Amino acid sequence: MRNALKKIAVATGVASVAVVLGATQAMAIPATTWTVSPNPAPFTAVSTNTVLSVSGIPLTCPTAGASGSAFSATGNPATVGNITSATFGTTASPCTSALGPVTPVATTTPAWQLVAQDYTSGVTTGYIKNIQAKLTVLTCTFNVTGEVNATYTNSTKKLAVSNSTRQLTVSGATAACAGIVANGAHPTFTGTYSVTGITSIVGS
């Protein structure tokens, strides 16, 4: 009887260890070392589908661009890039809305920062912070500041942005913005940028 109880105890102990080890291996360990290739990596990015939705009204830019420098870093979260220039629309291809032309002017001083948090199978997820821009729609002018979610995929060299968890906020809306957008509103921003200059971002 004692031998049988010992065998049961040993088996139970082994099973418990296996469960613990399995759970440990299944847990994702956040990356703390971020390797950007090349390092540093001056980059440019171009999008043809950026949309800022304000009060349900899409403000669409047929072309948008950004440039800056990416670099290796440690920590989590970790800043792996600075965006020092951002443009939306051109004279030939202006941003538009159902209300009329849209003129966005980005402020990149201080630089918008690309922050890395998670890495899985060639995809880095994180966010972009320090976003500042002034938009004019007809005679309505307002500011947008805050953060957007960002995902960079090594295989496609694409940087995708959205507002799944991060938030932008409207401020400084002029009187002409009544009925269009109000201070404190949270617009959403989406777009996919093709990036040149960054070979890869790898977290470990």
Domain ranges of the chain: 1-28, 31-203
Q: How far apart are CA 74 and CA 116, in angstroms?
A: 10
Q: How far apart are CA 175 and CA 142, in angstroms?
A: 10
Give residues with Cβ within 8 angstroms of 187, minimum separation 6.
52, 53, 54, 55, 144, 163, 168, 170, 181
The whole-number pLDDT of residue 159 equals 98
pLDDT of residue 29: 64
Burial bucket for residue 77 (CB in 10 Å: 0-12, 13-18, 19+)? middle
Judge contact between 145 and 169, C-beta under 8 A. Answer: yes
What does the pLDDT profile of the chain (204 residues) look like in tens digits?
444 434 434 444 444 433 333 433 334 568 999 999 999 999 999 999 999 999 999 999 999 999 999 999 999 999 999 999 999 999 999 999 999 999 999 999 999 999 999 999 999 999 999 999 999 999 999 999 999 999 999 999 999 999 999 999 999 999 999 999 999 999 999 999 999 999 999 999
- Gap between the Cα atoms of 199 and 116, Å rounded: 16
- Closest C-alpha to 163, from 180, 150, 152, 172: 150
CA distance 53 to 67: 23
